[in-house]
Chains A and B, each alone.
Chain A
Amino acid sequence: MENGRRPILAVRDLKTYFFTDEGVVKAVDGASFEVKPGQTLGIVGESGCGKSVAARSILRIVERPGKIVAGEVLLRRGLGGGQEEEVDLTRLDADGREMRYIRGAEIALVFQEPMTSFSPVHTIGDQMMEAIRLHRKVSKQEARARAVEMLRQVGISRAEARVDEYSYQLSGGLRQRAMIAAALSCDPKILIADEPTTALDVTTQAQILDLMRQLQEQNGMAVMLITHNLGVIAEMADEVVVMYLGRVVEKGRVDAIFHNPRHPYTQALLRSIPSIESTPRVRLPTITGSIPHPYNRPVGCPFHPRCPSFIPGKCDHGEPELVPVGEGQDAGCFLYG
């Protein structure tokens, strides 16, 4: 689209903490990244690195006792007549009209659990139409027609009949498609997909990814794809953000990240992918150690206890900033700055 270079969503230094009885969990601790219109941003990292919480923070649906304590989430919106404005989502009232409109009509969320993402006692159509009528002034028949149309677009056969069925009457793959249909029914500019294929088998996974790519081309939508599966990232993403313990450790274009990873964590991740070409009967490389307990964050760089390039005296004292390490590629490591 016209504003190809300017990001449609910019997250700056986001910090979301959970205040529990046993201590403070810094789920997201200063993460910054951008989503460009029509492009796919992949966020990758191990479980617990804060990627899901970041997504929820953008939509302001973080559960208690979580709170956004710092940072900005800037959404660029059209006001009609060619005008534009930038809204900081962290400043909006989470339950207010504006934020609720943004949820669903501007930014939509699809997530991991196709089994339980739909209420078991309401029909799929009912749940879809509710969102449509919430964000657009249309009649019931029009909403229903739109819902059926969306189901058809995502490749669900007999959409007319399916729209009145309950979620338990559909298979896992169909449910995920229905979820995507529901998310896209109000034409959002950004689709956040949080582990959309993790619960599916490989064949269905491929189909869903194809579908997402197709819809993205059709609607010119930006996609923020969150996953721990590097294969999916390689296939779908234009830009990649690598997160560890709530921080962004590396980000850049997908080819750069995959062919030329700079941060030791990214390197270790890529090394641990089993490949057909690897030598047989050799141990799979793993990352030594395990993810520290959220209440026991290491001082300094969060990765230093497991880092093969650990520099004593430096890595356990200060926290590295993101510095450019290549064309459009940044890494947060003392090796580079």
Chain B
Amino acid sequence: MLGYIVRRLLLACLTVWAISVLSFTIIQLPPGDYVTSYIAQMAASGSLVSQEEAQNLRLLYGLDQPMYVQYLKWMGLIAQGNFGMAMEWGRPVLDVIGDRIWLTVAVSVAAIIFTWVVALPIGIYSAVRQYSLGDYVFTFVGFIGLAIPGFMLALILMYFGFVLFNANIGGLFSPEYLEAPWSIGKLWDLIKHLPLPALILGLAGTAQMIRIMRANLLDELRKPYVVAARARGLSETRVILKYPVRVALNPFASTIGYLFPYVVSGSIIVSLVLSLPTVGPMLLKALIAQDMFLAGTIILLLGVMTVIGTLISDLILMWIDPRIRLGGK
């Protein structure tokens, strides 16, 4: 078991490193560097930067060094907690991101909870009552969820919300709480607003999970230990819930790990449509404005968040499956 944890941790670190390299590459991709944009900014506000000044700045930031040195410097800065300056705002990146990253986490977690809570019972029902009307209905709804990308669903729902109810269903907070400091009231307001984004984000993942659970359970239901349990006199409900569901839960739980990146990704676009104050809209603006420190940091943070989420789900899987715990097969 310890070996499992260690391996997972190592992999997580490796992934974070890979993400940092990718983020760095993204920062460096557009032509020019920080100094060029700085000069452009200065020029826009009327002041000129001389060649000498530019050169000094470059030396200062180590921008004339080869790539890997710059990368190490960036990593060093991050280790000190300095994520650079967001150029458009003129403030440190962390300030600008602020709450948004936590809200992104909240929305993603809400979506995953939604997925689990909905997909599990429906998957079980579909497998046990195969070919029934309920099964077909759920399969159909599942396909819809699979086919409509999150942002499209958000668009359509917003349209109907607007036209039918004259309501703007976007946003995570009611107007009065938007700029207010955190309090119980604000938290409750957030929770009230979470279900809709959670549903939109989670729907595609839910459809996928229902299919997986249904297929796994169908496989397990035919196995001898189910017959044995029934022959021992257990009631049908207990037989199904205690045994095959438990076994089918393992592959189901192992897919949770990959749900996380999917949901985090999806939240970006859905947040845009629904105007949620999460990291998504900010990332888009940063990318379009070529504010590379902001964008790169956001990507890095998102990646780290995802890796942590995957790690947690791996730990949950380990707790569920005794075979991994005991190292047997």
Direct A/B contact, Cβ within 8 angstroms: yes
**Interface residues, chain A, with chain B CB atoms under 8 Å away:** 56, 59, 61, 95, 100-105, 108-109, 111-113, 116-122, 127, 130-131, 134-135, 166, 168-169, 179, 182-183
Chain A residues near B232 (CB-CB < 8 A)? 103-104, 108, 127, 130-131, 134, 182-183
- Tell me whether A166 and B233 are in contact (CB under 8 A): no
Per-residue CB proximity of B224-252 to A under 8 Å, as 1/0? 11011111111110000011001100100
CB A6 to nearest CB in B, in angstroms, measures 25
Looking at B276-284, B285-293, B320-328, the stretch in contact with chain A turns out to be B320-328
- Tell me whether A179 and B247 are in contact (CB under 8 A): no
CA A118 to CA B228, docked complex, whole Å: 8
CA A117 to CA B223, docked complex, whole Å: 8
A to B contact number (C-beta, < 8 Å): 79
- Tell me whether B233 and A179 are in contact (CB under 8 A): no
CB A284 to nearest CB in B, in angstroms, measures 32
CB A106 to nearest CB in B, in angstroms, measures 9
> Residue of B at shortest CB range from A128?
B232
Given contacts A119-B246, A121-B246, contact A103 B225 (CB under 8 A): no
- Tell me whether A118 and B225 are in contact (CB under 8 A): yes
> Residue of A at shortest CB range from B246?
A121
Per-residue CB proximity of B207-233 to A under 8 Å, as 1/0? 000000000000000011101111111
Chain B residues near A119 (CB-CB < 8 A)? 225, 229, 243, 246-247
- Tell me whether A116 and B224 are in contact (CB under 8 A): yes
Residues 286 to 329 of chain B near chain A (Cβ within 8 Å): 321-323, 326, 328-329
Given contacts A59-B231, A134-B234, A182-B232, contact A117 B326 (CB under 8 A): no
Chain A residues near B328 (CB-CB < 8 A)? 166, 168-169
CB A65 to nearest CB in B, in angstroms, measures 11
CA A135 to CA B233, docked complex, whole Å: 8
Chain B residues near A135 (CB-CB < 8 A)? 233
- Tell me whether A131 and B246 are in contact (CB under 8 A): no
Chain A residues near B246 (CB-CB < 8 A)? 119, 121-122
- Tell me whether A131 and B233 are in contact (CB under 8 A): yes
Given contacts A121-B250, A122-B246, contact A113 B224 (CB under 8 A): yes
Beyond the given pairs A103-B230, A168-B323, A168-B329, 5 more chain A to chain B contacts, judged by CB atoms under 8 angstroms and listed by A's residue number, are: A59-B231, A108-B231, A127-B232, A135-B233, A168-B328
- Tell me whether B231 and A95 are in contact (CB under 8 A): no
- Tell me whether A166 and B326 are in contact (CB under 8 A): yes
- Cβ contact of B322, chosen from A104, A130, A166, cutoff 8 A: A166
